[in-house]
Amino acid sequence: MIKPHGSDTLTPLYVADDDRRAKLVAEAEGLPSVLISSAAAASAVMLGAGYFTPLTGYMNVADAISVAKDMKTGNGLFWPVPVVNIVPSDSISEAVHQAGKIALRDPNVEGNPVIAIQTVESIESLSDSQRDTIINNVFRTSDTEHPGVANFAALGDRVIAGPIEVLNYSYFPVDFPDTFQTAMEIRASIEKMGWDKVVAFQTRNPMHLAHEELCRIAQKAVDADGILIHMLLGKLKPGDIPADVRDAAIRKMVEVYFPENTVLISGYGFDMLYAGPREALLHAVFRQNCGCSHLIVGRDHAGVGKYYGAFDAQEIFDDLPEGSLEIDIFRGDFTLWSKKLHKVVMMKDHPDHTPDDYIFLSGTKVREMLSAGQPLPKEFSRPEVAEILMKYYQEQANA
């Protein structure tokens, strides 16, 4: 199995020893505390679950800017997106400033329990120019209509850096008990199934027929033993389909249309960045940490609106320094139903086709049909999947 990024073994920051974790939970109640952002809480989950191996905590300003500009930390580790704990200045008490350790409180769980304890190495101001540098390099835009830019710009102006010890995985194990998994658990599942070569499919959306076939095409092309369908379970922008609906739709698709023991369905606790190419690199890092040999990078991977070119997220991999990653990518193309061949194909494989040879439905048209209770064409979506989505959209329309 492929080794983790920057390490021979995974380095999860979750405190697995029950006695030690109980002592830290008790200790946390006596520490100065800070209510962190959803983004920082999600990063704590990813750090705890081994996905962000080999990081030990939140970056300081210098590392964050180095990662944003050059995609490497100060010590030379390849990393594509800053992992930071940024809070407003007025949320930091004098006690926090004086403390060696602080308790980080989760904004996404009722009562704001402590999600992690952080050893404070520094508390630095983030200037407007430094914030702009990070935003422009990571998101390739400063447009606040971009949801990732808007979220980052609103975080605050104080950067708290230092290693963390993670005490829980926030709401993810409770809300998604059958889907949320750590990188360690995914590696164990892959090993148990006897897979050596695994292709990962990233999704924040339900999977229609084209996505399903793209997984099959990629599996065949790289001769993979199995497929990891790995869905984001964290915060999304308004209008995206909730994780529980997506989870149900994907599970039904796999149950009915894939052979047994060929697909592993899992989810991870992170908020969507919508950072396009940079987020594709981050997806590759933590899929390598999961033990996957390949990641499918498709059209407008992790994109939003018209901020990125259709294949920018593939092309960024071409410019990486040698040895940055061990995982390989499978480059997906526009994947649609061919009227000529009566199956889903990737457009780049069929230059003889014209646009009229494909069946295409826009996202808007799909939502309109589902909201109206109209079945989707069988060439676009499995009926079992469409039924789950139709129920959701009709509930939304009648709410």
Q: Are 297 and 330 in contact (CB under 8 A)?
A: yes
* CA-to-CA dists, residue 216 to 171, 209, 219, 250, angstroms: 32, 11, 5, 15
Q: Are 394 and 371 in contact (CB under 8 A)?
A: yes
Q: 137 catalytic, yes or no? A: no
Q: Work out the angle between the directed axes of helices 128-139 and 61-70 (0-180°, nearest 10).
A: 30
Q: 158 catalytic, yes or no? A: no
Which residues are within 8 A (CB) of 385 and not within 5 positions of it... i.e. 6 or more apart? 206, 207, 208, 249, 252, 253
Give me the catalytic one of 140, 204, 216, 251.
Answer: 204
First to last CA, the chain: 48
Q: 291 is written with which tokens?
A: 């033990």
Q: Are 209 and 336 in contact (CB under 8 A)?
A: no
CA distance 336 to 385: 17
Compute how many other C-beta atoms are within 10 angstroms of the C-beta atom of residue 43.
28
CA distance 10 to 163: 16
**101-105 and 114-119 strand pairing:** antiparallel
The conformation of residue 44, written as its DSSP 8-state character, comes to: H
Q: Where are the alpha helices (DSSP H) in 172-242?
A: 172-175, 183-193, 209-222
Give me the catalytic one of 136, 205, 216, 367.
Answer: 205
99 CA to centre of own chain = 32
Q: Which residues of 151-160 are buried (b: 16+ CB within 10 A; e: fewer)?
A: bbbebbbbbb
CA distance 62 to 122: 11
Catalytically active residues, by annotation: 204-205
